[in-house]
Structure 1
Amino acid sequence: MSEEQPGASLGGQRDVGRGLENLPVSSWPEGEEPEFQYTPEHVIGPGAEVDPTQITFPGCTCLTTSCLPTICSCLLHGENYDNLCLRDIEGKMEFARPVFECNVMCQCSEQCKNRVVQRGLQFNLQVFKTDKKGWGLRTLEFIPKGRFVCEYAGEILGSSEARRRIQQQTKHDSNYIIAIREHICDGQIIETFVDPTNIGNIGRFLNHSCEPNLLMIPVRVDSMVPRLALFAAKDILPKEELSYDYSGRFRNFTKNDRNQEIPDKDKMGKPCYCATKSCAAFLPYDSSLYSPLEKQTTN
């Protein structure tokens, strides 16, 4: 089977999602697939203070089929979706407001339009081998702009454990650990560390691009631990590789931007192969994860 016909033969092929997703996820070439423990949602890992599977949010008391922002406690920051598409996903793709979906404690129906990410995969995706980037993820069907595509799920770690793991990596190891920092009131920052290296979902196969077609949004459903939801930043065509910006930005700064971050080539070391016009040449680098580990003290 050629690369021009991904997924043409799915009979008897192993499902990368292990039957844990709404739809089977194929792989190409057939028979080749990295080994890891599959989880469709976050699991608690070393150092995590909150169990992501624990229900901590009270539900809304809406008795209508679909919730309205004027009365629903889950929509205090406004409506999140319009016909399953993320709202306010225009212009430069900046999306700053919090997103809360209705949860298992809510009295609204399962058909409520404020339930999108929790419904899981809605498009046929495929894990495939790229020329230079190792494994990647692509869609086998058209995905409209604004639609939810998949999550980036794995072990939720404490900050010390995340730093320990990343500092043990060699330059030949792939780094799957992601740090999400959300700025809230009074200058406070909520940090979430996710590692899908050994326990994760198909999001672990997403490659970086300096001009990505996905936008990552923290979405909260049952817990304060956010689901890292990836939405289509534009219309995505069949067979197109899916990607997001590892730095958290949607677009890289241009070379003429005075605020452009200049990467430390000695530290970064890993080239970017996205081949876009605004390619920064190296993958994004989070220096905070390489800071010295805190020394443990005993009384």
Structure 2
Amino acid sequence: MAAVDVTHGLETHPVPVCGPWEELTAFQYTPDLVAGPGAKEDPSEVTILGCDCKETTCAPQTCACLPFGANYDSRAILSSQRPILECNVMCKCGESCTNQETQKGLQFQLQVCRIPGKGWGLFTKEDIPSGRFVCEYVGEVLGYDEACRRIHSQESSTNNYIIAVREHLHGGKILQTIVDPTQKGNVGRFLNHSCQPNLFMLPVRTHSMVPRLSLFAARDILAGEELCYDYSGKAFNAGEMSANRELEQRTLHSHKRCLCGTPSCSGYLPFDEWLCE
């Protein structure tokens, strides 16, 4: 029997399920962010007009989408310390532009596997070089009140997938993005927490001010490794992206035990202290 593709053919690569797939919690697969209750913006709407570059490879000196310099080199992210804006469908440079890395879909062979005593996890079937884009954390974009309602309606034993990312901009302005892949989501919902993660998350903007919560390889990752990131965002964001663009990342867990098994394990999953107090 062929392995079940958890993406239902909606990604560039199938993602097989290794384990009792019938025990997977039912959810609607989506490769893109969708507007949920209370969302201030529809992430599918094009609100960033893009560049007027005529070349297929945009140059930082002339491209409006590269005000801080090139974002990628040989498909690897160059810096996590500055805002990332990619060229989009409205740009005149075209689909072959190298500044569209997170819009190319899954680029590596992944699989969802059952982990004894831990639940489900996302693994790579091939080596992933450091800095390469791996996947997004996709789900419903929620308003604050709806996120709180969902959190308070959950049982203490229920897995909670809600993540909240806050970007601190110059002048004290804060942009908050809340994503919940519980009912609608992608492979990112299977990523487990680790106190020594091999992925890090960055908000990347393409056609909308709603950022793609993009996960990149923090180091060279070997085939067969479980893919994990730090739910609190502290592992690679300490010092936080720059003085005018601090990023906070939280997931909401009621002090559940951490099962990452790393030498630096804190013992508990990150706990949000500012959302829905």
**Secondary structure of the corresponding residue to residue 288 of structure 1:** coil
> Where does structure 2 lack aligned partners over 5 or more consecutive residues?
239-252
Contiguous gaps of at least 5 residues in structure 1: 1-10, 89-94, 254-266, 292-299
**Contact 1:152 1:227 (C-alpha < 8 Å) held by counterparts:** yes
1:43 is the counterpart of 2:17: no
Conserved 8 A contact 1:272-1:281: yes
- Give the C-alpha shift of residue 13 in structure 1: 2.2
Structure 2: which amino acid aligns with 1:56?
A: T
**Contact in 1 for aligned 2:12/2:107 (Cα 8 Å):** yes
Equivalent residue number for residue 19 of structure 1: 9
Q: Is the 8 A contact 2:122 2:226 kept in 1?
A: yes
| Equivalent position of 2:95 in the other structure | 110
Which residue pairs with 1:34 in the alignment?
25
Question: Bigger shift: 164-173 or 50-59?
Answer: 164-173
| Bigger radius of gyration | 1
Aligned-residue offset at 1:30? 5.3
Equivalent position amino acid for 2:35 in 1: I
TM-score, normalised to structure 1's length? 0.85
Aligned counterpart in structure 2 of residue 277 of structure 1, from 259, 263, 271: 263
Displacement after TM superposition at 1:59 (Å): 1.6
- The residue number in structure 2 matching 1:178 is 163
Q: What SS class does the counterpart of residue 161 from structure 2 fall into?
A: coil
Deviations 1:127-172 (A, max 9, x none): 1111232111000000000000000000000011111111222210
C-alpha distance 122-182 of structure 1, shift in aligned 2 (>3 A): same
Q: Which amino acid aligns with 1:23?
A: H
User: Residue 68 of structure 1: which of 52, 59, 72 is its match?
Assistant: 59
Structural mapping, 1:152-171, within 5 Å: 152-171=137-156
Q: Which residue of 2 aligns with 1:141?
A: 126
Tell me how far apart the structure 2 counterparts of residues 132 and 68 of structure 1 sit (CA, whole Å). 49
Report the 3-state secondary structure (helix = DSSP H, G, I; strand = E; otherwise coil) of the residue aligned with 1:287.
coil
1:289 alignment partner, SS class: coil
Q: Distance in 1 between matches of 2:268 and 2:20?
A: 31
Identity %: 55
Q: Alpha carbon RMSD of aligned pairs, Å?
A: 1.5
Separation in 1, partners of 2:90, 2:166: 27
Render the CA deviation track for 1:4-25: whole Å, top value 9, x for unaligned: xxxxxxx622210011000000
- Aligned match of 1:256: none
Alignment: residue pair count: 262
Note if contact 1:268-1:285 (Cα within 8 Å) is conserved in structure 2.
yes
How far apart, in 2, do the equivalents of 1:67 and 1:80 lie?
11
Instruction: Kindly state the Cα deviation for residue 251 of structure 1 after the two structures are TM-superposed.
Output: 5.4
TM-score (norm 2): 0.91
Equivalent residue runs for 1:1-299 within 5 Å: 12-29=2-19, 31-32=21-22, 33-88=24-79, 95-250=80-235, 268-291=254-277
Is the Cα contact below 8 Å between 1:207 and 1:243 reproduced in 2?
A: yes
SS at match of 1:186: coil
Q: Distance in 1 between matches of 2:2 and 2:225?
A: 24
Q: Structure 1 CA distance, aligned partners of 2:101 and 2:68?
A: 17
Query: Residue deviations 1:52-102, cap 9 Å, x none?
Result: 0000001201001200000000001211100110003xxxxxx23110000
Partner of 1:6: none
* Residue matched to 2:245: none
One-letter amino acid matched to 2:60: P
In the aligned structure 2, how far is the partner of 1:151 from the partner of 1:73? Answer: 24
Q: Which amino acid aligns with 1:275?
A: G
